[in-house]
Structure 1
């Protein structure tokens, strides 16, 4: 778990080094998806048949949620790079965009909830979303720590 959290922190910091969204998506796929899958499968204690049913749905979910994460990371980067020069109107507009990405994330979670339930059941699906929320909070916490410095 510590290895996964470290990867998440590195990736969240690496957003500023990526040249564009595609670089970030490639970075996620290359370094995080395998660790994330391994972590999720282990924590959920998926049986081989559950893994087989869950894997293709999870891959699609990672693609969609990864795109949203890229959008949100780009907004964070804009804010952190322009913290001292943004006007209140610019910050307000940025906040509206952050809210939109948060809503996209919720819609994506809702879209996949039923699919996950069919594949692995209600309890494991619930655990999955709690684990995902925990990991998202770790990344968000690292961003807040950066801004607090």
Structure 2
């Protein structure tokens, strides 16, 4: 079953490069019944002045985060294409790319947090970071659930 889900997820990833934001929106809507922007706005419940200061920072963050997400999709596609014949060199390359993606995502969130502290205050900025991390962990867990560990699908493969 997991093999079928993995194949479907890779097929999805191959077609998803242009659809990342739509797929994330659909996943969040499936999980929470609303769009990510609605979830964020409802959770933060900012005053009109705070919302006006928040929105351009949030829009810039989402644009940069979605661009980073494209990198993650490429990593997943590469993993799917090379899963059956994964070499030490390819495993190292993919792991390095994935670690860099994670670092870049954290740097983007930290940079955004600094801007939000100035714009909407420390508590609201912390609430945003907390919610964003929760949403990203939830999305990552959904993806991770269908991606097999190295060697998982071929138990006879020598390690």
Q: Same fold (TM over 0.5)?
A: yes
Bigger drift between 29-38 and 100-109 goes to: 29-38
Q: Which residue of 1 aligns with 2:101?
A: 101
CA change 1:105–1:76 in 2 (3 A) is same
Structure 2 residue 9 is the aligned partner of structure 1 residue 16: no
Structure 2 residue 55 is the aligned partner of structure 1 residue 55: yes
CA change 1:31–1:101 in 2 (3 A) is closer
List gaps (5 residues or longer) in structure 1.
1-12
CA change 1:129–1:77 in 2 (3 A) is same
Shift of 1:81: 3.3
Moved over 2 A (4+): 13-16, 29-34
Q: Which residue of 2 aligns with 1:35?
A: 35
Q: Which residue of 2 aligns with 1:132?
A: 132
Shift of 1:14: 4.4
Larger radius of gyration between Structure 1 and Structure 2 = 2
**What SS class does the counterpart of residue 89 from structure 2 fall into?**
helix
Q: Which residue of 1 aligns with 2:71?
A: 71
RMSD of the TM alignment (CA)? 2.5
Structure 2 residue 126 is the aligned partner of structure 1 residue 118: no
- Kindly tell me the number of residue pairs found equivalent between the two proteins: 133
Distance 1:88 1:50 in 2: 50
Distance 1:125 1:73 in 2: 28
Shift of 1:69: 1.2
Alpha-carbon contact 2:13-2:76 (below 8 Å) kept: no
